[in-house]
């Protein structure tokens, strides 16, 4: 039996049988782990309300290397009360957790992906946050963290640079911009949207408009769907 203690985020819970729950956790130490929580729906002092998403939790798992570990204890260590009180922030957090659940492989630590996700949830807990901007920036960073970062400056096929101030064709499946010669299933980015994507990828958001942030979010979601294999 292996004892695993780690900070974690709850990505999803599914009811099983009359009283149990299977929780999909993103742990800092071991990556994504699915765990059975015995008697969770009957109430448990060892679990309490720690299976709610978006909050930071500390978990104790018994993990024997089977498909499901067993969650023995969990407690909230980072409450994000402001986040759960605002619908736009909660929707953004839910999207990010869905991305993480599909994108990160099982039982593989993803330190950069973990950092990006925790920083996003902390940002969304700020009442002054712009959820679309924060989510788009985090999505681009999550893709980069697992090797699917989008190339926004030059064609991924031939390396030809896209001229400044021009619309760009982007193929999420191929990982970025494609020129007309290389082609592909593309999304056309207006110059302002491309500039916004580059600014968000670099960690900035101050000069990005809401419309451009929404376009970038659409591109990120398509890239997530392609690489993680889920339906949008």
DSSP code per residue over 124-170: HTSTT--HHHHHHHHHHHHHHHTT-PPB-SB-TTT-PBPPTTS-EEE
Q: What share of residues in the chain are helix, strand, coil (percent, to 5)?
A: 35, 25, 40
Residue 41's pLDDT is what? 75
Cα–Cα distance for residue pair 140/176, rounded to 1 Å:
11
Residues 141 and 196 in one domain: yes
**Least confident segment among 114-123, 201-210, 212-221:** 201-210
Q: Which one of 56, 79, 102 terminates a domain?
A: 79
Residues 28 and 135 in one domain: no
- Structural contact between residues 140 and 200, judged by C-beta atoms closer than 8 angstroms: yes
When comparing pLDDT for 27 and 65, which is higher? 27
Residues 124 and 105 in one domain: yes
Count structural domains, the chain: 2
Average pLDDT over residues 71-91: 95
Query: Has residue 8 got a pLDDT over 90?
Result: yes
Residue 10 backbone phi and psi in degrees, to 5: -90, 115
Residue 183's pLDDT is what? 82
Cα–Cα distance for residue pair 188/213, rounded to 1 Å:
15
Residues 115 and 18 in one domain: no
Global confidence as pTM: 0.92
Q: What is the CATH number of the domain that holds 223?
A: 1.20.1440.120
For 142, the token pair is 């999550």
Residues 74 and 86 in one domain: no
Average pLDDT over residues 114-122: 97
Nearest to 9, CA basis, from 53, 49, 69: 53
Residues 36 and 125 in one domain: no
Residues 58 and 107 in one domain: no
Q: Which one of 79, 107, 131 terminates a domain?
A: 79
Q: Which residue range forms the structural domain that includes residue 61?
A: 2-79
Q: Which one of 23, 58, 79 terminates a domain?
A: 79
Query: Has residue 186 got a pLDDT over 90?
Result: no
Q: What is the CATH number of the domain that holds 46?
A: 2.40.50.140
Cα–Cα distance for residue pair 90/82, rounded to 1 Å:
9
- In DSSP terms, 187 is beta-bridged to 170
Residue 229's pLDDT is what? 81
- In DSSP terms, 106 is beta-bridged to 32
Residue 114's pLDDT is what? 97
Query: Has residue 91 got a pLDDT over 90?
Result: yes
């Amino acid at each position: 039996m292996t004892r695993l203690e780690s900070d974690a985020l709850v990505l999803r819970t599914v009811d099983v049988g009359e009283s149990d729950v299977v929780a999909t956790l993103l742990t800092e130490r071991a990556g994504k782990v699915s765990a059975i929580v015995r008697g969770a729906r009957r109430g448990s002092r060892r679990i309490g309300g720690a299976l709610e998403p978006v909050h930071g939790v500390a978990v104790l798992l018994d993990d024997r290397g089977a498909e499901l570990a067993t969650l023995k204890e969990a407690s909230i260590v980072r409450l994000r009360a402001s986040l759960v009180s605002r619908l736009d922030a909660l929707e953004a957090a839910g999207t990010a957790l869905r991305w993480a659940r599909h994108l990160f492989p099982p039982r593989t630590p993803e330190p950069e992906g973990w950092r990006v996700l925790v920083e996003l949830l902390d940002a969304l807990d700020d009442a002054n946050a712009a959820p679309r901007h924060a989510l788009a920036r985090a999505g681009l960073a999550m893709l980069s963290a697992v090797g699917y970062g989008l190339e926004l400056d030059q064609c991924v096929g031939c390396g030809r640079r896209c001229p400044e101030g021009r619309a760009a064709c982007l193929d999420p499946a191929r990982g970025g911009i494609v020129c007309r010669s290389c082609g592909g299933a593309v999304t056309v980015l207006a110059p302002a949207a491309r500039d916004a994507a580059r600014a968000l990828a670099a960690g900035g958001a101050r000069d990005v408009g809401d419309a451009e942030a929404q376009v970038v979010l659409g591109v990120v979601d398509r890239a997530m769907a392609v690489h993680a294999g889920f339906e949008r």
